[in-house]
Amino acid sequence: MEKLIGLKKVKTAVFISGTGSNLRNLIKFAKIKMSPISVDLIISNTCKAKGLRFADEFKIKKKIFDLRNNEKNILSLLKKEKIKLICLAGFMKILSNDFIKKFDGKIINIHPSLLPKYKGLNTHSRAINNKDKFTGCSVHYVTARLDSGKVILKSIIKILAKDTATTLAKKVLIQEHKLYPAAIMKIFN
Ligand code: GAR
């Protein structure tokens, strides 16, 4: 990622599908003076995403990515809004290769596992079923292959005997909220 020039923050879109706790965290992070990004657009593939309420709360433009608003329209919107970075934050739709190519090297994602382990879904139950001793989360560049782009940063936590997929998800989410801003700082330094 190119260096930040002057004091201008990099216009960023956050893509979500659900609760949006990472989105909220990124919005808060973006408001800090030293943050290299501003969150200017929120995109969801479903109007049911609870995280969309943060668009209203923080007065950020939002768009639902449905059949009417296909990728082509989303790309024009991103261009119009001068978006230079896309952060996927619990976005559960797979973007086309064409879309990814148009934003090559400028889409990052947070994933709840220690990549390359457990790409895809149900990462916490898979870690528990395999009797792993550690799990965590990773921020990585998005490429055409699911959860396979270069890892920017990872955070590791211990799995305890009493952990369930639910307790692990909660603990990992706390780490995610530290990791995503740290990864963004890293790519602009
Ligand atoms: C997070 O744990 C994120 O890592 C995960 O979904 C959750 C979204 O939480 N993402 C994926 O599984 C993507 N493959 P949030 O909506 O509260 O940010």
| pLDDT higher than 90, residue 161 | yes
Q: Look at residue 66 in the predicted model and tell me its pLDDT.
A: 86
55-93 tens-digit pLDDT: 999 999 999 998 777 999 999 999 999 999 999 999 999
Domain identity same for 100 and 129: no
Domain identity same for 144 and 186: yes
Domain identity same for 77 and 123: no
Domain identity same for 90 and 166: no
7-32-110-127 Cα dihedral, nearest 10 degrees: 150
- CATH code for the domain in which residue 137 is found: 3.40.50.170
Residue 116: inside a domain: yes
Domain identity same for 123 and 182: yes
Q: Look at residue 3 in the predicted model and tell me its pLDDT.
A: 55
Mutate which of 17, 21, 22 for ligand 1? The one with the most ligand atoms within 8 Å of its CB, which is 22
Residue 2: inside a domain: no
Domain identity same for 97 and 125: no
Residue 63, SS3? strand
Positions marked active-site: 111
Domain identity same for 120 and 96: no
| pLDDT higher than 80, residue 7 | no
Q: Please indicate whether residue 175, judged by its CB atom, sits closer than 6 Å to ligand 1.
A: no
Residue 1: inside a domain: no
Domain identity same for 98 and 17: yes
Query: What ranges make up the beta strands (E) of the chain?
Result: 10-16, 37-44, 61-64, 85-88, 107-111, 134-141, 151-158
- Is 68 in contact with 48 (CB distance < 8 Å)? no
User: Residue 75 and residue 95: Cα distance in Å, rounded?
Assistant: 11
Domain identity same for 125 and 179: yes
Cα radius of gyration rounded to whole Å, the chain: 16
Give the confidence band of 1 by pLDDT, cuts at 50, 70, 90: low
Range of the structural domain that residue 96 is part of = 8-104
Residue 3: inside a domain: no
Whole-structure pTM value: 0.96
Distance (angstroms) between ligand 1 centre and the Cα of 142 equals 15
Tell the burial category of 32 from Cβ atoms under 10 Å away from its Cβ (0-12, 13-18, 19+): exposed
Domain identity same for 119 and 154: yes
10-41 tens-digit pLDDT: 999 999 999 999 999 999 999 999 999 999 99
Domain count within the chain? 2
Q: Which of 55, 73, 54 is nearest to 65 (CA)?
A: 73
Q: Please indicate whether residue 165, judged by its CB atom, sits closer than 6 Å to ligand 1.
A: no
Residue 123: other Cβ atoms inside 10 A = 24
